[in-house]
């Protein structure tokens, strides 16, 4: 196989967003660490309210998970609704679910308002059942979501699956028409440019090395040391996701960095593309160790999964290419002779309780834990944190829940136990 180890999405961006060349200012209203969906959405929202933010990005805008993902803009959360309700209570979970729907509207609104050409489309998502038991559980899940959140999902029995997917291996499916698809690299690039237009200043290749709270003349502020110099900020917003560094040790302890990998085929003939995904849905399966896949706007099959559990490296990316190709052929034997042209990996930001979180740590604002829902959720959280910084009441349901630290062995910088977690989920998939 001659597969390029590179991110297909990135190559679709004709004019990447760039940082400014000037020196860091002496002081700024808000220093934002990380230029992904979360940091850029916050910077845009702050700018629109007249608050000056400096976005400090260690690499390039969107370099992290935000330009590497599947581009699935999904409703709901990772955990099943009964688990959520028993943990957090009905009222809070209803607000969380409403936030997940609102976050998709927000992405759509930003794309429209800013004129971002990123193939945003309300194509819906399809969850396919890998076992009969999984399909049986779909009916109960759909009824509960209708009852609790008044949100409609549609069950697709096995006999009607051909209208949704050109694969024979599944036992049925669940459709949510509210979800959307996007080209994430074009979206995050557009978001960066819109933050700049709103008044934020973007500093790329500027790694934050340390942060210290201090009091100058009785006024509280933060001293931010970066690879490009230092600045003072009245507020700090940490939007560093799975790539959170030792500069913010308290937050880093909370992150479980999980590798996820994607391949993209050569463009498919239109008839074959239509056969594989007749309604162009965002598709994922019902396993813990799941596959997610979709067509790209130019009709490639983009197929992802946790082929290796470790954060990406040259060797995990290389190994993932063949593993994912085998997975793809298992779903779609029609692609046996199709060339895979791209493979890349990225790191997902999981919290130990598999929930998104936001709030304050060491007096700094943060949002993290978006897992596979970050396209919409990180955009929404960034906007919400900007509101809190501007003095809005904090009505974010995710800031009200406890945020557990990750166990040693699963944390950023110390991930020796990740293969054990991977094994646990594989066993769970085998037995349930």
Ligand X SMILES: Cc1cc2nc3c(=O)[nH]c(=O)nc-3n(C[C@H](O)[C@H](O)[C@H](O)COP(=O)(O)OP(=O)(O)OC[C@H]3O[C@@H](n4cnc5c(N)ncnc54)[C@H](O)[C@@H]3O)c2cc1C
Minimum separation from the CB atom of position 202 to ligand X (A): 11
Nearer to ligand X, 271 or 314 (CB): 314
Looking at the DSSP bridge assignments, the partners of residue 15 are none
Cβ–Cβ < 8 Å for 114, 192: no
**One-character DSSP codes across 70-135:** --EE--S-SS-HHHHHHHH-HHHHHHHHHHHHHHHHHHHHHHHHHT--S--B---EEEEPSSHHHH
Using CB under 6 A as the binding rule, the residues of this chain from 293 to 312 that contact ligand X are 304
Minimum separation from the CB atom of position 190 to ligand X (A): 14
By CB under 6 A, residue 242 contacts ligand X: yes
E-state strands within 204-290:
208-216, 219-226, 229-238, 256-265, 282-285
Nearer to ligand X, 303 or 370 (CB): 370
By CB under 6 A, residue 131 contacts ligand X: no
By CB under 6 A, residue 332 contacts ligand X: no
In the set 118, 224, 247, 255, which binds ligand X (CB under 6 A)? 247
Nearer to ligand X, 39 or 171 (CB): 39
By CB under 6 A, residue 44 contacts ligand X: no
Nearer to ligand X, 374 or 387 (CB): 374
By CB under 6 A, residue 397 contacts ligand X: no
User: Residues with Cβ < 8 Å from 86, sequence gap 6 or more?
Assistant: none
Nearer to ligand X, 134 or 373 (CB): 373
Minimum separation from the CB atom of position 373 to ligand X (A): 5
Nearer to ligand X, 171 or 304 (CB): 304
Q: Is 59 helix (H, G, I), strand (E, B) or coil?
A: coil
Cβ–Cβ < 8 Å for 228, 275: no
Minimum separation from the CB atom of position 120 to ligand X (A): 13
What tokens were used for 269? 């003939």
Minimum separation from the CB atom of position 271 to ligand X (A): 26
- Mask: binding to ligand X, 187-216, rule CB under 6 A, as x and -? --------------------xx--------
By CB under 6 A, residue 37 contacts ligand X: yes
Phi, psi at 116, each rounded to 5°: -85, 115
Minimum separation from the CB atom of position 381 to ligand X (A): 8
Q: Please tell me the distance from the alpha carbon of residue 308 to that of residue 315, in angstroms, as a whole number.
A: 10
Q: Report CA-CA distances (Å) from 39 to 101, 195, 266, 368.
A: 20, 10, 33, 11
# of chain residues touching ligand X (CB under 6 A)? 45
Closest residue (Cβ) to ligand X?
A: 374
**Smallest Cα–Cα separation from 47: which of 236, 234, 197, 221?**
197
Minimum separation from the CB atom of position 300 to ligand X (A): 15
By CB under 6 A, residue 99 contacts ligand X: no
Minimum separation from the CB atom of position 35 to ligand X (A): 6
Looking at the DSSP bridge assignments, the partners of residue 229 are 226
Q: Please tell me the distance from the alpha carbon of residue 72 to that of residue 122, in angstroms, as a whole number.
A: 10
Nearer to ligand X, 134 or 306 (CB): 306
**Smallest Cα–Cα separation from 282: which of 159, 173, 130, 131?**
173
Using CB under 6 A as the binding rule, the residues of this chain from 51 to 90 that contact ligand X are 56-59, 63-66, 68-72, 74
Minimum separation from the CB atom of position 245 to ligand X (A): 4
Cβ–Cβ < 8 Å for 391, 414: no
By CB under 6 A, residue 374 contacts ligand X: yes
By CB under 6 A, residue 39 contacts ligand X: yes
The helix-helix angle for 90-114 and 184-198 (nearest 10°) equals: 80
In the set 3, 31, 33, 302, which binds ligand X (CB under 6 A)? 33
CA 306, 312, 313, 318 dihedral sign is positive
Alpha helices in 216-269 (DSSP H): 249-252
- Mask: binding to ligand X, 336-355, rule CB under 6 A, as x and -? ----------xxxx------
Q: Is 172 helix (H, G, I), strand (E, B) or coil?
A: strand
> Which stretches of the chain bind ligand X, using CB under 6 A?
33-39, 56-59, 63-66, 68-72, 74, 207-208, 239-245, 247, 260, 262, 304, 346-349, 370, 372-376, 378
């Amino acid at each position: 196989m001659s597969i390029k180890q590179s991110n297909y999405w990135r190559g679709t961006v004709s004019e990447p967003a760039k940082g400014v060349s000037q020196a860091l200012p002496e002081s700024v209203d808000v220093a934002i660490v990380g230029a992904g969906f979360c940091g850029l959405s916050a910077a845009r929202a702050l700018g629109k309210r007249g608050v000056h933010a400096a976005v400090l990005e260690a690499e390039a805008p969107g370099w992290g998970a935000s330009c590497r993902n599947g581009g699935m803009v999904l409703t709901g959360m990772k955990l099943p609704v009964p688990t959520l309700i028993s943990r957090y209570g009905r009222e809070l979970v209803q607000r969380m679910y409403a936030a997940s729907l609102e976050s998709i509207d927000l992405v759509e609104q930003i794309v429209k308002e800013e004129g971002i050409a990123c193939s945003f489309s309300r194509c819906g998502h399809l969850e396919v059942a890998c076992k009969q038991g999984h399909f049986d559980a779909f009916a109960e899940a759909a009824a509960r979501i209708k009852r609790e959140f008044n949100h409609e999902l549609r069950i697709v029995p096995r006999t009607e699956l051909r209208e949704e997917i050109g694969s024979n291996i599944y036992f049925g499916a669940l459709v949510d028409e509210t979800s959307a698809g996007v080209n994430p690299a074009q979206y995050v690039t557009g978001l960066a440019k819109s933050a700049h237009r709103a008044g934020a200043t973007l500093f790329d290749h500027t790694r934050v090395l340390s942060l210290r709270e201090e009091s100058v003349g009785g006024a509280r502020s933060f001293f931010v040391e970066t690879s490009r110099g230092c600045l003072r900020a009245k507020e700090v917003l940490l939007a560093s996701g799975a790539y959170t560094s030792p500069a913010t040790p308290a937050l880093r302890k909370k992150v479980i960095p999980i590798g996820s990998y994607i391949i993209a085929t050569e463009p498919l003939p239109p008839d074959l593309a239509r056969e594989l995904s007749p309604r162009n849905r965002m598709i994922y399966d019902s396993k813990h160790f799941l596959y997610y896949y979709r067509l790209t706007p130019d009709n490639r099959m983009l197929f992802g999964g946790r082929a290796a559990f470790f954060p990406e490296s040259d060797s995990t990316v290389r190994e993932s290419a063949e593993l994912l190709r085998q997975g793809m052929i298992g779903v779609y034997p029609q692609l046996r002779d199709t060339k895979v042209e791209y493979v890349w990996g990225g790191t997902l930001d999981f919290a130990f309780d598999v929930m998104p979180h936001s709030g304050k740590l060491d007096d700094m604002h943060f949002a993290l834990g978006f897992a596979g829902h970050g396209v919409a959720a990180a955009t929404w959280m960034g906007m919400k944190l900007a509101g809190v910084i501007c003095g809005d009441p904090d009505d974010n349901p995710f800031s009200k829940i406890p945020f557990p630290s990750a166990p040693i062995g699963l944390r950023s910088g110390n991930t020796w136990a990740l293969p054990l977690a991977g094994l646990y989920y594989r066993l769970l998939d085998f037995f349930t």
